[in-house]
Amino acid sequence: MMNKTQDYHVDTKELIKVTASGWMGTAMEFMDFQLYSLAAAIVFSDIFFPEASPAMALVMAMGTYGAGYVARLVGAYVFGRLGDKVGRRTVLFVTIMLMGLASTAIGFLPTYQQVGIWAPLGLVLLRILQGFGAGAEISGAGVMVAEFAKRSNRGLIGSFVCLGTSTGTLLANLVWTIILTNLDEKSLYAWGWRIPFFASFIIMIIAVLIRLFIKESPVMAEKKKLLEEERDNELTVATKVPAKSRKGGKSLLVALGLRFGQAGNSGILQTYMAGFMVTFLSVQKTVTTDANIIASLVSFITIPLVGYLGDKIGRRKMYMILSGAMVIYAIPMLLMIQTKNTVLLTIAMVIGLNVGVQGLFALENVMLAELFGSKNRMTLMALAKEIAGVIATGFGPLIAASLVSAATGSWWPIAIMIIAFSVFTFISAYLSTDPTGRDLNDLDDAM
């Protein structure tokens, strides 16, 4: 049942600043990772792995993409714990700096022809640093906004942070489209591929400046007060509530499942499909970036709409609707893409991205925050996101590349993976309680 208790006082001015900060940070994270994923699919196989066959080079490029997601898991724990102990604001300042500097440094890397094996090793190292910083960035931003917003419109307000994904994806694809359209192949491989990574530095500066002027989450102060009262009354965790509630057992498992579908679909549709369509369908490189741009523009309507509907009918129900729709849509989507018709391909990608990726993400940042209690919210939310991310987004494209290569370019492994990801999330939502509108000052988890 949805929590209908009265909203607590909200500092509107501070909420706007925190939302803008979250938007910019999320935009930078997704811009950096989309820049990287597109580069991995379009040019990195030739720049950093030129001695491998085209199919194997794509597998290796996707492997470097996956390495960043392992680092995200470590960053989720380290920065998540700091966020719960020291405060959300401090951690978000550090993560944005680490992400931005690592992404910018990729633009300065030498190529394989210049330094040999040191080039891909440098790429992996920077990818790991980038992932380490990103591990708690989007979780921290989502927690901050959720803890500032009113209960009655938490999903709608939280969705504006999620719009950072569309902003970042849009910017990354626009940059790559401009480069691919205006540079010949020689210039692209000589220096043009570096430009997108230099561009991320601008977003970092804007996000840092905004975060200098935001306050700490009000939930942090309330949490310290509640914990002090608990210690004063000499109550242990075991005697106050069941231990499983504080440890996040059921809530963590449900959160992992909810994240799994969105993360898996993102890895397939936003990362691997670009390489699949270029390598196996011989589609022009700009077709994939154009489809991502249109999908990002459409999501500026989809994300707030899904956030609003989640507030009205419950986030659990919306999760079931969207993940169920993606199960049904997966095969028709791949059949449309397989036609190689630019219009059909674009429509297929736009629908898939808005239903199976952006739509689910509009729910994710708020529902996961609501599932966990304030004592360990940022740590558990970051871990839930990144554990599922390592498996689904990090290694999903690598697994897809390997399966499709083994199936000599067939589309059926992609369809099966999307269906599996979406079914997993549907079942998780079905088994979950609906925490919509829950009091985020509560120390305990929802399940």
- Domain 12-217+239-431 class, CATH top level: mainly alpha
Please give the pLDDT value at position 170. Answer: 80
* Contact between residue 42 and residue 272 where contact means Cβ atoms under 8 Å apart: no
Q: Which residues fall within 8 angstroms of residue 110, CB to CB, at 6 or more apart? A: 118, 119, 122
Instruction: Read off the pTM.
Output: 0.80
> Could you write out the three-class secondary structure of 289-347?
HHHHHHHHHHHHHHHHHHHHHHHHHCHHHHHHHHHHHHHHHHHHHHHHHHCCCHHHHHH
Q: What is the pLDDT of residues 255-297, one digit of tens each?
A: 999 999 999 999 899 878 888 888 888 888 778 878 888 998 9
Q: Is 248 left (phi over 0), alpha (psi -120 to 50) or beta?
A: left
Q: Using DSSP, how many helices (H) and how many strands (E) does the chain show? A: 22, 0
Q: What is the pLDDT of residues 45-96, one digit of tens each?
A: 777 766 655 665 555 655 565 667 778 888 999 999 998 988 888 888 888 8
Distance between CA atoms of 86 and 83, rounded to whole angstroms?
6
Asked whether residue 120 carries a pLDDT value surpassing 60, the answer given is yes
Q: What is the pLDDT of residues 207-261, one digit of tens each?
A: 888 888 888 877 877 776 776 666 666 544 444 444 444 545 899 999 999 999 9
Per-residue pLDDT band at 117 (split at 50, 70, 90): confident
Average pLDDT for residues 374-388, to the nearest whole number?
A: 91
Token pair in block for residue 431: 């088994």
Please give the pLDDT value at position 384. Answer: 93
Amino acid letter for position 176: W
Asked whether residue 321 carries a pLDDT value surpassing 60, the answer given is yes
CA distances to 102, 268, 365 from 261, in Å: 28, 11, 14
Distance between CA atoms of 294 and 13, rounded to whole angstroms?
32
Reported in sequence order, the residue ranges of 170-301 that DSSP labels E, i.e. its strands, are none
Of 34-38, 251-255, 305-309, the one with minimum mean pLDDT is 34-38
Please give the pLDDT value at position 220. Answer: 79
Domain assignments of the chain as residue spans, ordered by start: 12-217+239-431
How many Cβ atoms sit within 10 Å of the Cβ of residue 238? 9
Please give the pLDDT value at position 52. Answer: 58
Please give the pLDDT value at position 245. Answer: 43
SS3 24: helix
Average pLDDT, the chain: 84
Amino acid letter for position 381: M
User: Which residue is listed with tokens 């999908």?
Assistant: 295
Tell which wins on pLDDT, 377 or 394.
377
Q: What is the pLDDT of residues 403-419, one digit of tens each?
A: 998 888 899 999 999 99
Nearest to 207 by CA among 102, 88, 96: 96
